[in-house]
Amino acid sequence: MQSIQSMKKYLFLFIAMLSLPASGLALNVGEKAPDFTLMDLDDHSQTLSSQQGKFVVLEWFNYDCPFVKKHYGSGNMQALQKKWTDQGVVWWSINSSASGKQGNYSPEDMKKLAEERKTASSAIVLDPDGIVGKSYEAKTTPHLYVINPEGQLIYQGAIDDQPSSEPETIQGAKNYADQALEQATQSQPVTDSSTKSYGCSIKY
Amino acid sequence: MNRRIAAVLFLISFSSFDVFAAENLKSHIKAEVVSDRSSVQPGERFYAGIHFKMDPDWHIYWRNAGDSGIPTVIDWKLPEGVRAGPLLWPFPKKIQMEEITSYGYDDEIILLNEMTISENFSSHQLTLEADVTWLGCEKICVPGKSSPSLTLPVSSSASEPSENNEKIQNTLTSLPEPFLEPLKGKVSGSNVTLELPEEWGTKKEILFYPYEDNWLDHGAPQKISKVETGWVLKTKKSSIAPAFSDSTIKPGIIAINEGEKVYEVEIDFIQSKNEDASLLGHLTFKPSGTLLLAIGALGFFFFCNKIRGK
């Protein structure tokens, strides 16, 4: 009798699982941002859900990618990181390069590289298994995501509207990530909430 | 210590972290100007283009780079009296790197333009020069830039084919042909369905490559299947696709059996919101599984009740 009850319970669970939408993996703006825990360079674990109540920026990077160099070499990325972390936004720079692939460094080496660049993010977190990158469908470096205090994704895509590795294109570019943060922090709807990211492929 | 050794050591100590300076900017892609003529005559049309040669495993990108990468750009600097037509893109390869799907070219490719030289062109020489930019990628990516040129004599006598003529003719035959009728497309949830002409149904492989980079899931499989109305190609929409309007037209190309035939097509989408069509779209996919499950569940309950009855 009891076994039949538990069988029914499993069957219910089984049906509940399968009735999830077929496209359940696609991540859309407006949906809940997938939770994760990753280690930062000081060996502290960082968990997205523990940042509820704050805006969070996720920035995929690979210091050896020319498109990332464009934004770090010019100081553009660091300026944006400083501007928003100064206002209480949590900014995590995420590296999903797999071991042995371009842009993958040990935490110690990554720390040196970040210091050389005066990276101003709240933390640099490492995702060498690519699990978090894949759950966000992060495709390129750079690729930026903005999450609101309720934990919903409100922006995903390119840093700006200039898909080029030339630093000269930064001047006058429309910075989508900055725009999303400006609008969302003033309780306005984000106008360009999903854009096509540009850059090198993430080295999963 | 010897000064030279000190300098070398100093350089070595920096080299591993020196990312701002040019690391390994050796070009893996060569770009040179080619023409189908060895001399040109005022008033005629001819072809000129950029011949890209890639190192093994390196590639450059198509007009739509896909998930990552940057389209190759050719900006001709032509003298007065010479005009370039639109850039002619042969159909690209799908480049798959883990989760990321891009479109591009490896090995070698010629990107051509049709050139028109006016009747009154009076100079004895024509220099065809272009500013060419590309992103070359292997496992890593290196942006490239060059301004190659080719100077041809201009003569009043009939022009002669060049040594590159055969290669250029081959490239021309591999370009997409215009397909006159737009194909009908349907979007329902994340499913994209393209209606195919009847005669394509028996083809082994049909691949659609969109010109715009932001609406199709570049990595999703594209399957030919038979429905009541005929043959269709089924694939997926990108999660970042902007909303489709009542008659969204999406241009692209269709390559049949790896380029046996390539067409430039327009897909005319009728976005079916809550209409029958969208319901049907769902029926063919999700609920069929749910239906099976429901039948299974019913059977299971009967089975459980039967055991209980005993």
pLDDT in tens, A121-145: 999 999 999 999 999 999 999 999 9
Q: Which residues 52-91 of A have a C-beta within 8 angstroms of B?
A: 63-67, 69, 73
Q: Which residues 144-163 of A have a C-beta within 8 angstroms of B?
A: 156-157, 163
At A43, is the secondary structure helix, strand, or coil?
Answer: coil
Query: What residues does B235 pair with on adjacent strands?
Result: B192
Describe the strand order of the beta sheet including B82-84 as a list of residue ranges.
B29-35, B45-54, B108-117, B82-84
In this prediction, residue B305 carries a pLDDT of 59
At B169, is the secondary structure helix, strand, or coil?
Answer: helix
User: How confident is the model over A149-177, as a mean pLDDT?
Assistant: 96
Report how far residue A163's alpha carbon sits from residue A8's, in angstroms, rounded to the nearest whole number: 54
In this prediction, residue B272 carries a pLDDT of 55
In this prediction, residue B201 carries a pLDDT of 86
Strand (E) or helix (H) holding A134: helix A131-135
**Which residue among B139, B142, B189 sits closest to A203, beta carbon to beta carbon?**
B139
Query: What residues does A175 pair with on adjacent strands?
Result: A160
Query: What residues does B75 pair with on adjacent strands?
Result: B131
Instruction: DSSP letter for B126, please.
Output: E
Please count the residues of chain A: 204
User: How confident is the model over B277-304, as a mean pLDDT?
Assistant: 48
B120 touches chain A (CB under 8 A): no
Backbone angles phi, psi at B111, to 5 degrees: -100, 115
The nearest alpha carbon in chain A to B240 belongs to: A194
Rg (CA), chain A: 19
**Which residue among B135, B239, B304 sits closest to A26, beta carbon to beta carbon?**
B239
pLDDT in tens, A53-77: 999 999 999 999 999 999 999 999 9
A22 has a pLDDT exceeding 90: no
Residue B61 pLDDT grade (very low, low, confident, very high; cuts 50, 70, 90): very high
B20 touches chain A (CB under 8 A): yes
Contact, A182 vs A204, CB < 8 A?
no
User: How confident is the model over A178-187, as a mean pLDDT?
Assistant: 97
- Interface probe with B: pick from A200, A203, A204, most Cβ of B within 10 Å: A200
To 10 degrees, what angle do helices A76-85 and A66-73 make? 60
In this prediction, residue A13 carries a pLDDT of 44
Residue A18 pLDDT grade (very low, low, confident, very high; cuts 50, 70, 90): very low
**What residues of chain B lie within 8 A of the CB of A66, using their CB?**
135, 141-143
User: How confident is the model over B111-117, as a mean pLDDT?
Assistant: 98
Query: What residues does A155 pair with on adjacent strands?
Result: A146
B197 has a pLDDT exceeding 70: yes
CA distances from A163 to A70, A152, B27 (A): 11, 26, 21
pLDDT in tens, B259-270: 899 999 999 987
Report how far residue A36's alpha carbon sits from residue A39's, in angstroms, rounded to the nearest whole number: 10
Q: Is the complex ipTM higher than 0.95? A: no
Report how far residue A3's alpha carbon sits from residue A170's, in angstroms, rounded to the nearest whole number: 65
Bond prior to B287 in cis (omega within 30° of 0): no
In this prediction, residue B22 carries a pLDDT of 42
Nearest CA-CA partner of B19 in A158, A68, A91, A197: A68
Residue B3 pLDDT grade (very low, low, confident, very high; cuts 50, 70, 90): low
**What residues of chain B lie within 8 A of the CB of A111, using their CB?**
none
**Residue with tokens 């699982």, as numbered in its chain:** A17
